[in-house]
Structure 1
């Protein structure tokens, strides 16, 4: 079963330039198409870090971080690939398998080190992704807090 129609949620681009954080909302189209998310993030050329935080349908989140040599990806729950095209696309790029349909566990997949250079160590990202009591927006807020761009991130969410 794949989710039909528009996907709910939000996407935020995060840029670190000259020691300062900047966040801006991305078009909702990036929630359905991983290629669109990568393309939009690549347009935000910066000598510093550029990455996207995507919260999809209150179900899972994706971190997308383009680099000259490719793209780093993190998906908070691989089982989302059973229902969402963007999650399936992430697994395809990572060459990872989706879990069995009857798996009832959270299965983070991808680069746990994706934000380690910005203050989010891999073990902490894994703990946040495995926190089943939190919605994706709350998980991403924790990541923003840990990395130091919580105020900029919250300002974008307040405009939603």
Structure 2
């Protein structure tokens, strides 16, 4: 298993209809419970969305609404290499994929359907093998209406 190298981890949430996107401050090896706990600190009328890109390999969307966390990972096969991805697969209670399996998403494709991106559109985006995780997350941010804030948060990190 590899040490998890995050490209970035962001929190996105709305207050009074205005999106705010902010980098998540994480120390040490990121794990799912730490990410969910970090996201719970933020307000949000429709919950808070965590956008995590790992080593230009895959992304994780986490949506915390009330006490519940919904999860989507762009590539289930990442769980064979990355501890964070394995935690997501374990939390979703799905079998570990084989390395030779196709890259398919795992989790809740309807995670942001009520915010403006249908499960079908999100699935089609994830199926685009030419896009890096950051580019997919950028398209999600644009579709939900916080593309500018997403770009500013990425620039603030890098």
TM-score, normalised via structure 1 length: 0.92
Deviation (angstroms), 1:54:
0.3
Is 1:151 matched up with 2:148?
yes
Structure 2, unpaired ranges of 5+: none
Cross-structure match for 2:134: 137
Q: Residues 2-151 of structure 1 correspond to what in structure 2 (within 5 A)?
A: 2-4=1-3, 7-29=5-27, 32-103=30-101, 105-151=102-148
Contact 2:60 2:71 in 1 (8 A): yes
In the TM superposition, what is the alpha-carbon distance from 1:32 to its structure 2 partner?
2.5
Give distance in 2, aligned partners of 1:131 and 1:40: 30
Query: Shift of residue 75 of structure 1?
Result: 0.3
Tell me: CA distance 1:42–1:91, structure 2 relative to 1, closer, same or farther (3 Å): same
Q: CA deviation at 1:29?
A: 4.1
**How many residue pairs were aligned?**
157
- CA offset digits 1:58-88 (Å, max 9, x no partner): 0000001112242100000000000111111
Q: Normalising to structure 2: TM-score of the pair?
A: 0.93
The CA deviation string for residues 114-152 of structure 1, in whole angstroms up to 9 with x for no partner, is 001110100011011111111000000000111110000
CA distance in 1, matches of 2:29, 2:145: 24
Q: Any conservation in 2 of the 1:53–1:140 contact (CA below 8 Å)? A: yes
* Equivalent residues of 2:9, 2:50 under 8 A apart: yes
